[in-house]
């Protein structure tokens, strides 16, 4: 176990108690953690009607903000986790008690090195919202004379998150190495993604930049409203935006049907443009991050978690969606193989047949009855059955599309998603064949070829010279050998210790036969000391082997 895990032993014990309480004590026993005795003494306190996924969600909520965010990030990987678990993780809530106003005031005054009265014309001490990472207060901007939303990071949350992430990293590595059934999920890589995403999310200066990008790219091209950022108040711990007064999206809103339909269509169009046109999109567009303004516009808030797609990724996704809309199973299969990473050899014919089964189901439905989210979920399940894994960014896109459709249907259940999205998808596809776009690609390819031809002769000459002088070295890096390496190291260490013990016993025996003083109980003291040391080391070696089940 690593030193950083021992330094956080108190937190590790708290985690072990919560996990054991929800019936995961057997998992802890298999992870070789220094809390085994504690786990033995804890009886599970779970409802018999709860399934394992509900227990996972409740445990994550009780473990705190880091684990809630970890669960929310896991919910974006439908290509790796079972759908019932994904649906349960989307219910995770991180609402907590607000921090005292004095603490908020202290953060603001420390961040800007001035009094709160000088920063804002007025400041409401009662928070508008409180979450695990931050809380929001209303204030009056002194210069603009406008109502603003002041988002303040909770004091000490960075240290808490980093401590939890360090422990989570160790737990993931232990689970990956000791439990074969979990290796398919690559938990260490998921934790690393969580670390990167979470540390970015609690940096509010980064969120301020994201909002500015969204306003310049997205707001101008759609009917979506994005709050204005006051950059003079943008720091890693504080974010100030225009306060948008509006109504939360719920299924029972008192809103005319025509307004519901137009808002749902606007949200869907915006998502398509964000993902397929700009390649910069809100990664968590659930109803809690949206409000409807008094002039019936959809306002998209909380830009802490965004996604980005490269031009190639945008094109791949665009043609995949186009093929799905056209119900072209062969093209869908081709694009999936181009996007996903195979964990083993894929039988292409069987994959295409499975895709055809899905397409047949949806071909029998009118366009207005096709649920794009369900279609994407079915395709992801087929990928999983063939051990095909989507890149993390592509998984987040699919989750965002599923969430967008769910939010749109909450506004207007009879929304024809395909008909609303199809014109924009076709327009973006046709743009790929426009003269300007094709000329741009040709210029890029010619520039790449020109660069290649300049360096290719020198590169080939260098390789040929190394071959001629027997200096060519080929690197070979075999991954996932760490468990074998550790086992071999342990075996050789025990073998060496056994040889040392044998030599110590033999040497002590030879000294005993000489009768050389000083004597202890009538025997040479040096020989007796050798026997004692040998006995202690031998006993320790036996206990270690038994505890590690190395027999």
pLDDT tens-digit series, residues 152-197:
999 989 988 888 888 888 888 888 887 777 777 778 888 888 888 8
Q: Where are the domains of the chain?
A: 3-93+161-200, 249-433, 483-547
Count CA atoms within 13 Å of residue 386 on its CB side. Answer: 24
Per-residue pLDDT band at 1 (split at 50, 70, 90) = very low
Torsions phi, psi for 463 (to 5 deg): -65, -45
Q: Which stretches of 142-245 are assigned E, i.e. beta strand? A: 147-153, 224-225, 238-242
pLDDT at residue 3, rounded to an integer: 45
pLDDT at residue 34, rounded to an integer: 65
Q: What is the distance between the alpha carbons of residues 135 and 98, in angstroms, rounded to a whole number?
A: 7
Q: What is the distance between the alpha carbons of residues 230 and 242, in angstroms, rounded to a whole number?
A: 8
- CA-nearest of 350, 304, 93 to 208 is 304
Residue 232 has pLDDT above 70, yes or no: yes
Per-residue pLDDT band at 227 (split at 50, 70, 90) = very high
Average pLDDT of the chain is 82
User: What percent of the chain has a predicted confidence (pLDDT) above 70?
Assistant: 90
- Cα 512 → chain centroid: 64
pLDDT at residue 439, rounded to an integer: 79
- CA-nearest of 394, 403, 377 to 290 is 403
Residue 27 has pLDDT above 80, yes or no: no
pLDDT at residue 37, rounded to an integer: 61
Per-residue pLDDT band at 41 (split at 50, 70, 90) = low
523: three-class secondary structure by DSSP: strand
The H-assigned helical ranges of 304-391 are 311-325, 329-339, 348-363, 372-385
216-239: average pLDDT: 87
Residue 341 has pLDDT above 80, yes or no: yes
pLDDT at residue 368, rounded to an integer: 66
Are the CB atoms for 201 and 194 separated by under 8 Å?
A: no
- CA-nearest of 106, 99, 113, 103 to 233 is 113
419-446: average pLDDT: 76
More confident residue, 482 or 286: 286
Which tokens go with 21? Answer: 């309480």
pLDDT at residue 295, rounded to an integer: 84
pLDDT at residue 549, rounded to an integer: 55
Residue 310 has pLDDT above 80, yes or no: yes
Which tokens go with 75? Answer: 């919910």
More confident residue, 354 or 529: 354
Does the predicted model carry a pTM greater than 0.75?
no
Q: What is the distance between the alpha carbons of residues 65 and 131, in angstroms, rounded to a whole number?
A: 9
pLDDT digits (tens, 9 = 90+) for 98-148: 899 999 999 999 999 999 999 999 999 999 988 888 999 999 998 888 999
Q: Which stretches of 193-303 are assigned E, i.e. beta strand? A: 224-225, 238-242, 246-248, 280-282, 290-293, 298-300
Q: Is 409 left (phi over 0), alpha (psi -120 to 50) or beta?
A: alpha
User: How, if at all, do strands 341-342 and 388-389 pair?
Assistant: antiparallel
């Amino acid at each position: 176990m690593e030193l950083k895990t021992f330094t956080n032993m108190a937190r590790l014990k708290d985690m072990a108690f919560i996990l054991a309480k929800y019936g995961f004590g057997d998992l802890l026993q298999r992870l070789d953690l220094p809390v085994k005795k504690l786990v033995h003494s804890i009886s599970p306190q779970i409802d018999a009607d709860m399934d394992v996924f509900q227990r996972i969600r409740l445990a994550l909520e009780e473990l705190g903000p880091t684990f809630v965010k970890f669960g929310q990030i896991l919910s974006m990987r439908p290509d790796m986790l079972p759908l019932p678990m994904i649906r349960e993780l989307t219910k995770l809530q991180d609402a907590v008690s607000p921090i005292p106003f004095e603490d908020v005031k202290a953060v603001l005054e420390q961040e800007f090195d001035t009094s709160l009265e000088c920063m804002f014309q007025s400041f409401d001490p009662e928070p508008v919202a409180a979450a695990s990472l931050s809380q929001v207060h209303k204030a009056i901007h002194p210069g603009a004379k406008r109502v603003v939303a002041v988002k303040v990071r909770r004091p000490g949350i960075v240290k808490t998150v980093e401590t939890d992430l360090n422990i989570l990293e160790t737990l993931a590595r232990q689970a990956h190495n000791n439990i074969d059934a979990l290796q398919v999920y690559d938990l260490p890589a998921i934790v690393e993604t969580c670390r990167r995403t979470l540390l970015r999310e609690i940096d509010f200066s980064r969120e301020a930049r994201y909002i500015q990008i969204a306003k310049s790219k997205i707001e101008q091209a759609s009917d979506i409203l994005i709050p204005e950022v006051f950059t003079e108040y943008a720091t890693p711990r504080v974010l100030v935006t225009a306060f948008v007064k509006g109504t939360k999206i719920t299924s029972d809103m008192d809103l005319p049907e025509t307004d519901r339909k137009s808002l749902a269509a606007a949200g869907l169009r915006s998502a398509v443009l964000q993902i397929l046109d700009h390649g910069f999109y809100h990664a968590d567009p659930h109803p809690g991050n949206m409000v409807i303004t008094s002039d019936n516009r959809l306002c998209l808030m909380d830009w802490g978690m965004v996604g980005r797609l490269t031009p190639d990724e945008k094109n791949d996704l665009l043609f995949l969606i186009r093929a799905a809309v056209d119900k072209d199973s062969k093209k869908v299969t081709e694009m999936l193989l181009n996007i996903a990473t195979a964990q083993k050899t894929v039988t292409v014919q069987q994959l295409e047949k499975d895709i055809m089964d899905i397409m047949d189901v949806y071909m029998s439905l009118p366009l207005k009855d096709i649920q794009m989210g369900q279609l994407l979920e079915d395709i992801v399940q087929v990928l999983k059955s063939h051990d095909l894994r989507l890149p993390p960014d592509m998984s987040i896109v699919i989750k965002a599309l599923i969430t967008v459709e769910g939010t749109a249907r909450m506004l207007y259940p009879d929304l024809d998603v395909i008909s609303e999205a199809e014109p924009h998808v076709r327009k973006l596809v046709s743009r790929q064949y426009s003269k300007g776009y094709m000329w741009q690609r040709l210029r890029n390819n010619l520039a790449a070829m020109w660069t290649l031809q300049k360096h290719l002769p020198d590169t080939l000459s260098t390789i040929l010279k190394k071959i001629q002088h027997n200096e060519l070295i080929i690197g070979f890096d075999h991954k996932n050998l760490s468990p074998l390496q550790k086992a071999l190291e342990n075996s050789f260490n025990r073998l060496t210790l056994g040889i040392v013990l044998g030599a110590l016993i033999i040497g002590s025996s030879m000294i005993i036969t000489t009768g050389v003083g000083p004597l202890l109980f009538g025997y040479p003291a040096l020989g007796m000391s050798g026997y004692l040391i040998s006995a202690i080391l031998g006993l320790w070696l036996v206990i270690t082997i038994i505890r590690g089940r190395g027999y």
